Structure 1
């Protein structure tokens, strides 16, 4: 039996996500933004819910193109609120539009990926956590990044959401030490 982080369970979609995507260092700013938006939609829900709807989200949100989404208004909000393929939450939809504008501002000023990675010194934070019980809900880095994102106009990006996003995007390697992906992900940064 393969050792794997317990949160992946036995759902094939979740296992595939864990085994191929979660924790892999993401250096593309647009991809980082998409994942932050999806983590914001996940607030109050199980990640598997978002994972199952991810393709629907991509279709509904123009492939997560922030330049398109930044120009949206009430007509698009109304359209999205009627879309059963996504999480229909007005606050999260409106936040996505505002977050697209904030993303574009950061991208133009310094690049979104360099901005995000600066909160971990440009390198993956490598951890040695034996079990899920050892994994914090937030860290000083996620609190600092969350605070700066909010200062720059982002919403639905509290320190717990930001830490989950940092884990998913490989800013921190939080695969537990008994997981086969822990060392594989560590080697991705060498």
Structure 2
């Protein structure tokens, strides 16, 4: 039995359309984050100001140093208007496509949620996200860790690893991380 080219095309199209739902459901999950894909120093240099009208230069900096296959030391230092800042550091874990830091210290009031900060690659940026605003205690009055970004193009290797590892922040973070890992 012969079939025309038009009929063969129509049958092939119907077959593709019928297979489409299965192909959509079989799409691979988003790639898992590797801690190495975040490693480095991200920064931006910008003009800042005081309420007096005086202007000055500021730097936002994020440092990410792998400390295990699924863990990384994270330090975020962001500058805001009138000299306010956000400074937070600790060891975060890879969760899906993000690095997530959960503050190991309970808040002073039991009704307050623990600080949870995530970092992810979003388009051309490193996105710093405190979605629930639980990390506000790490910021001055005009500072926030909600929806902050630094350009991925600013990423550089950390060339001062010895100084970083000798810093109080790094030592505190490593002690807290090791204490949590020890039963």
The TM tier, using the shorter chain, reads under 0.3
* Higher-helix-fraction structure: 1
- TM-score by length of structure 1 reads 0.23
Q: Which has the larger radius of gyration?
A: 2
- TM-score by length of structure 2 reads 0.24
The structure showing larger relative contact order (alpha-carbon pairs under 8 Å, at least 6 residues apart) is 1
